Every structure is written in C-alpha cells, then in structure tokens.
Structure 1
Amino acid sequence: MRKTKVIIVDDELDAINALKSIIEMEPNLYEILATETNPLKAIELIKALEPDVIFLDVEMPELTGFDLLRSFDEIKFEVIFATAFEHYAIKAIKNNAIDYIVKPVSISEVLEALQKVRKKHNHNEDKTLKYNAFLEEYDSLEIQKLKIPTLSGVQFAKLNEILYFEADGNYTNLVIDGGKNYIVTKNIKVFEIDLPEKKFLRTHRSYIVNIEYIRLYDTHSSMLVMADGKRIPLARRRYRDFKEIIDLYLG
C-alpha cells in the first residue's frame, strides 16, 4: 500500500512536534517528508518534494498559509489547515470542502483528516480550481469594510477584525483585534442595522459582538468571554438568537 507523503508547515516547533507524534503513530500509512517553520522556505520544499498533503498553519509571521497557497500556479496536493475556532476563514474553508484541524490538535482529529485525504487521493479532482475558489471566497471576506466616523475623522475597519461594539451614551466604543479601539460618533443602534446578522449579534442593549471572536460562554454567569478577555453579558432574551447563530456558524 502506497504511503501518503506529508509536509508540515508551522512557525511553532511545539505544533510541528505535536503533529509529528500523531502522524508517526501510523508509519505504514504516512511518511513525513519534511517540516518547516519558515513558510518561504516551505514553498521550495513543497515544489521539490511533491507531497500528497501539507499541514498548513493559517497565521505565520512571514506569510499566511493562504498567501503560501497563492504562490503556486498549479496545486497538486491537498491541504489541511491548522487554525483556531474564532478565525473568520473557517466558514470559507467549510464551504469549499477543505479540511482543517483546531489547535491544540487531537489524535482523532488529525488521523480523521488524513484518512479523508487518502480517500480523495484516487479521485480525479482539480485541486487548483478548488483552492482558487476558496481563496476568492476568503478574499471577499477579508475586504469587507465598515466606515466609522470618529472624533478624529473617518476611519475604515475590516469587518473580520472587529471584536465588539460597546455603547457609551450617544457614542460607541469599537474594539479591533490587536488592541486598537475607536470612539465612534454613532449610536450602537445604527451599527445593528448595518452589520451582517450572520456574523454579528446584539447580545445586550450595550453590546454587539463578532461571533468569530467569542472564546467561551459562561453558563453560570451568562457572560461571553471574548478573544481579548473582555466579559460581555448575554441578555436572557438574546439567548435563543445566540444559540441559533452559533449553530449556523458551526454548521
């Protein structure tokens, strides 16, 4: 039986070692050709070694996993993305039938993703077409922007970078991924109308959250814990909306 050839690309050695230890549990099925922490070097490795599948970290300092894919005119390998729950690209990944694993990785999740790759191997699928379709959908998510009037002038924020809106009287505090925040000269109700309802949720009279940045729902206190650690109340009357949008998001 032919072994499936694997390359692992991740800027964190601990993540690489975790994947290696799992893949090496099935030495008769999988062969690790190489691992690489530098995505730029990984491009040359992939071209030279021609793997069947690459485990590809989404967020890396020099180059994102998506940018790495763009460097190939023709894609002959399958990709298993390594990402986190809140990453806004997950919806596009699912929509295009691409596999992904969530960090920290589990044995069952990794082996199941690899098994899917083995089943696909004999299918005459146009991988270039599939991954280019994914990248187009990802780009459409990334470029969506919101016009925000602030005390210092008009700013533009990418929707996928907004964590939450917090009401402050007639103003709104807008918090962006990475620690930035803006005082916006609009009432929070205005944003509730303009924002895509499948992505943002009014959890309380004072808050609108981006569901992709929710880390935890504390059932005891009815509080949402956001990616920056902020605890945001979920009003009882908003719970059904919250459950519906999360179920839809997780597919």
Structure 2
Amino acid sequence: MFSALILDDEAPARKFLHGLLAEHCTQLSAFFLAGDIPTAARLLQENEIDILFLDVNLGTETGFDLLQQGTGRHQALIFVTAHEEFSLKAIKARAIDYLLKPIDIDELLLAVDKATGFLKSTRPAPVAQTPASDTGKQQVIVNHDDGFELFDQSRILFAEAEGSYTAFYLEGAQKIIASRQLGSYETLLASPFFFRSHKSYIINLRHLKGYSSKNGYTALLSEGYEVPVSRRKLSLFLELSKKLGS
C-alpha cells in the first residue's frame, strides 16, 4: 500500500482528485492534501509519502519550486495541471507522468500504475534490463506464457496493449506477446526514446519516420507501421520529435 500527497492551490481541485484516487486506486491507503508549498514541505517532512501529485501553477509559485527544495528525490512524481507547456520540464524533473486537466480517469489510473510499479523496484519486475553488451546495446527480458524472450531494446518499434497482455513489435516483422499489461513496462524502458503516445501504445522515437494528421494524429514508424497519438500527448510528441531530430 502507498501514500500520496496532492498539492493544488484550488480546494475543489484537491478534493476532486482525492475523490477519484480514493474511489478507484485501492493501492493508495493514505492521502495528504496541501494548498501551498510550505504545507506540502511540512507534510513531506513529517510523513512517509510515496507519490506526489503536483499542480504547476500555484499562484506566485509552481510545483517545481517544491522540488528545488530537495523534495521528490525518493517519491514518484505525477504532475496534474492545465498547463501543457511545462511537460518537457516535468520530464527533466523525472516525472512519472504529466496529466492535463480535466483529468481523464483512464490516464490517471495508468499514471498511478506506473508510479506504484516504479516504487516496487525492489520486487521482481516483468522486464529486466541486462548490462550493456560490448556493442553498447541495452537488452531487455520480456516474460510470456511459454518462458521469456531476450532482445536488444533498440529493436522495439512500439508496444501495444492487448487487454491484460502487451504486444511488442520488433524489427524484422517480429511480434512478441508479453504476459503483463502495458503500464507495467513503461517506466522500465529507457527514456527519452520511449514515449507513451496513447493509452494503448508506447513508441520508440528512434524508429520515428514521420507524422501525419490526415486520418487522426499518427506517428509513422519504420517498416510501415502507423501508431496513434492522443490529442493530450500531441504537443509533447511534436516537441520531443523536433528535439530528437535537431
């Protein structure tokens, strides 16, 4: 069981998020609510808190100001804000996720799953990274119903949710069905190349070949694959794509 701190200067927003988490996230057992940074800092000092839900705009301060005090090093960070322009700064702060208001319940549940997965790092993980090989490639082990598969992380084109399973699409038209949900793998794939473009997809930006908005927002990948990009993730996707291509 895990505890959570909600930092938002608007009381209705704090209570609304608290209500969603209390109703839908049974893995969270304790909640602390703060309307400003001094209160949040005091709560963190007095209690063992696992996950931080931080708003960005706090009047004259921001959620990042709390992190500058040395807080958040051992917690999982999730930003919940109406301001999408701070998403890259959140990534640099090693945030688990960046959720835009109004809150999408599916995205919130996925973010909490990622956070708790990160916090369970001392427990057996569904994907294990192996030491880099002589060629400098990072390898991963993916468990499936018949055993496991070991392959270079760079070979992953994208991963797709298939119910309670995950399908990994690799170079060479290879497909591997893993016996865990997609959210279990997100924090274990190395950034900045792996990006959650949609609630059902993680793409490898190293294989990005283009982008199209002709039939919805779509990332064009190697070997002719087309993967959707959600409206909420589009701005960050375009910004990261330009950054990686520069």
Query: Which interval holds the TM-score relative to the shorter structure?
Result: 0.3 to 0.5
Per the normalisation by structure 2, the TM-score is 0.47
Per the normalisation by structure 1, the TM-score is 0.46
| Structure number with bigger Rg | 1
